[in-house]
Amino acid sequence: MSLPHLPALEDLEPTERGHFVAADGLRIAWVRWEHPNPVGRVLLSHGYGEHAERYRHTAAWLLRLGWSVSGLDHRGFGRSEGVRGDARGLGPFVEDFRQFLAAEGGAAPRRLVLAHSFGALVALCACLGAPTPVGGLVLSSPALVLRPFPWSIRLMERILLRLAPHLSLDLPNNKDLVCSDPRLVERYWADPLCHRRVTAAFPGVFPEGFKLLLEGAGDLRLPILVLEAGEDSVADHEAARALWARVPREGVERHRLAGFRHEIFHDRRRDEAQALVQAWMGRPFRVPSGNP
């Protein structure tokens, strides 16, 4: 029996690594993959438990298309400082990402965001209110509403919210349920910068962010490509339809990818998702007023 097709998995070393200091003094890590003559810059916003360099193969694909790529590690993840998997509200993540957006881009004429899961929630909220220096968003399995946790996890969360809301615990999970490429599952478990740690306070960022988005949906007037996994065990895309019904429809393109698991750009069929993104990126976008 032949093995299922698996796309090429390039491990592209970053051009540069660094950090910036957040408003509360935490050091937030960033990474760049530079193209010598870029058509623009893609800014990565990763999901829970991972970090920007887990998308090395995605950066390699984008560089082949002519884009430079930058990514940050959200606080409490990857190389950034902060309690692992903790949150004191969504605000600090959003402010970090806004600071990152303002700093990245240089002379690139176009800036687009590619954001996954929790990172998509952060990126969307960062686009509310003040003008944002990006021309569009690609959202992979945006975790706007989570599927219910098992009752045992919900009970533990309630107890810890009262006793130790910021105690970081190791959360058991089955990575095969969210990622269909076994090589990337293996890399996840071997990567010391990935973790499964979470506090009881962290899940609260999801309803907080969804409420903000529902209230400010009219502000989301930039082009948005939404890719929803058809077999998503994390995000409840049907419940999130309440948001997309409020967002100006001319700017939103949504695709439900049958057979895909939560991590769309880590899926064994990710080339299908990449083709959708490539076609969308080829369209004309506005140049944000903050760009040179």
Sheet hosting strand 16-21, strand order edge to edge? 16-21, 27-33, 67-72, 40-45, 111-116, 136-140, 224-229, 252-257
Structural contact between residues 156 and 183, judged by C-beta atoms closer than 8 angstroms: no
pLDDT tens-digit readout, 174-205: 999 999 999 999 999 999 999 999 999 999 99
CA dihedral over 272, 47, 120, 213, signed as positive or negative: positive
Going by pLDDT thresholds of 50, 70 and 90, the confidence category of residue 291 is very low
pLDDT tens-digit readout, 225-270: 999 999 999 999 999 999 999 998 778 999 999 999 999 999 999 9
Beta bridge partners of 226: 139, 254
pTM over 0.85: yes
For the chain, give the mean pLDDT: 92
Domains and CATH numbers, the chain: 16-281 (3.40.50.1820)
